[in-house]
């Protein structure tokens, strides 16, 4: 299987049922290393569920998942993150009672180690502050360093979440609607950031903003009712009559 190594993530016949309702149905997805791959589809298509399956936040009903040729179908979610596949959440997930700085630092701490040291002062973590500032700079948030994350606007929370995810320096990022709720300026900033970090990383992203998808993605998979409807470049996918129909048929897009 010489080609296998070209793909960082591969799923085979991935299926997830919720009490008889099939949210993800026989999805076989392959994500090429160092590419930006978009997962799109109407509301309720099963995109977030796919993310939950890949990162092991949900256990699949059937099917297998491989990350770097390694079968992770039965791995724990924290272990998958440590292997280098890190996700963000559709509903912004920050540590609201920690400062912006501490939010990013908690992620850096995981790589630094020593996180069980309960007898030491957290002042030793100040060594990480320079790195934190660099990361916050990349998402344009240096002005908010000492604010509590819970006080930020929705768009800023999303940006903070991306900085926190990047702090882990993951081989692969799964971004669930990273630009939802952002101002158009921030959308441009984050799009540029995603492009920049994709140089030596792989990104799988769910995004409703089709301009962003067209601009960034190397490859697109269209999901509808839990199944992959089409796959290809933006050109190929947007000319596919089934895809056009799926989008016209949905009330939101």
Ligand X SMILES: Nc1ncnc2c1ncn2[C@@H]1O[C@H](COP(=O)(O)OP(=O)(O)OP(=O)(O)O)[C@@H](O)[C@H]1O
User: Quick one: what does residue 43 bind among another protein, ligand X, Mg ion, none, with the CB cut-off 5 to 8 Å set by partner type?
Assistant: ligand X
CA 213 to CA 204: how far, in whole Å?
A: 11
Q: Which of 30, 37, 47, 156 binds ligand X (CB under 6 A)?
A: 47
Write down the least CB distance from residue 183 to another protein, Å.
Answer: 23
Give the C-alpha separation, 126 to 117, whole Å.
15
The three-class DSSP label of residue 174 is strand
Sign of the dihedral defined by the CA atoms of residues 4, 48, 16, 170, in that order: positive
Region near another protein per CB under 8 A, out of 62-70, 80-88, 190-198, 219-227: 80-88
Among 29, 46, 60, 182, binds ligand X (CB under 6 A): 46
Q: Is 45 in the site for ligand X (CB under 6 A)?
A: yes
Among residues 15, 32, 64, 95, the one that binds another protein under rule CB under 8 A: 95
How much of the chain is in helix, strand and coil states, percent to nearest 5? 40, 25, 35
Residue 115, interface with ligand X (CB under 6 A)?
A: no
**Contacting residues for 93 by C-beta, under 8 A, at least 6 apart:** 161
Using CB under 8 A as the binding rule, the residues of this chain from 14 to 73 that contact another protein are: 55, 57
d(CA 29, CA 63): 11
The interface region with another protein, picked from 79-87, 135-143, 203-211, 234-242 by CB under 8 A, is: 79-87
Rank residues 47 and 219 by Cβ distance to ligand X and give the closer one.
Answer: 47
Q: Which residue has the tokens 């930006």?
A: 36
Q: Which does 44 bind (CB under 5 to 8 A by kind): Mg ion, ligand X, another protein, none?
A: ligand X
**177 contacts: CB under 8 Å, gap ≥ 6:** 90, 206, 207, 208
CA distance 245 to 19: 29
Residue 9, beta-bridge partner list: 31, 67
Q: If binding means CB under 8 A, how many residues of this protein chain bind another protein?
A: 39
Cβ-based nearer residue to ligand X, 21 or 118: 21
Tokens of 49: 């569920």
User: Which positions touch Mg ion (CB under 5 A)?
Assistant: 47-48, 90
State the residues that interact with another protein by CB under 8 A. Answer: 55, 57, 76-79, 81-82, 86-89, 93-99, 102-103, 105-107, 109-110, 114-122, 124-125, 164, 168
Chain positions contacting ligand X, by CB under 6 A = 18, 23, 41, 43-49, 90
């Amino acid at each position: 299987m010489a080609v296998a190594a070209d793909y960082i993530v591969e799923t085979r016949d991935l299926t997830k049922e919720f009490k008889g309702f099939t949210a993800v149905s026989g999805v076989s997805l392959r994500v090429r290393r160092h590419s930006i791959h978009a997962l799109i589809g109407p509301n309720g298509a099963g995109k977030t569920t796919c993310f939950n399956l890949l990162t092991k936040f949900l256990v699949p009903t059937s099917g297998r998942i491989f990350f770097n040729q390694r079968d992770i179908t039965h791995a724990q979610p924290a272990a998958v993150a440590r292997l280098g596949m890190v996700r963000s959440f559709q509903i912004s997930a920050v540590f609201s009672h920690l400062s912006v700085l501490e939010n990013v630092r908690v992620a850096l701490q995981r790589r630094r180690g020593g996180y069980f040291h309960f007898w030491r002062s957290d002042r030793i973590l100040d060594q990480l502050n320079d790195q934190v500032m660099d990361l916050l700079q990349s998402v344009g948030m240096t002005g908010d360093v000492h604010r509590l994350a819970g006080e930020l606007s929705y768009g800023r929370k999303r940006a903070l979440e991306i900085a926190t995810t990047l702090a882990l320096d993951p081989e692969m990022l799964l971004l669930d609607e990273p630009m939802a709720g952002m101002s158009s300026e921030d959308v441009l900033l984050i799009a540029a950031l995603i492009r920049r970090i994709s140089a030596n990383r792989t990104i799988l992203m769910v995004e409703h903003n089709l301009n962003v998808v067209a601009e960034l993605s190397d490859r697109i998979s269209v999901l509808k009712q839990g199944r992959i409807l089409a796959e290809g470049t933006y050109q190929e996918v947007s000319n596919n009559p089934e895809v056009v129909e799926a989008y016209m048929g949905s009330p939101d897009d």
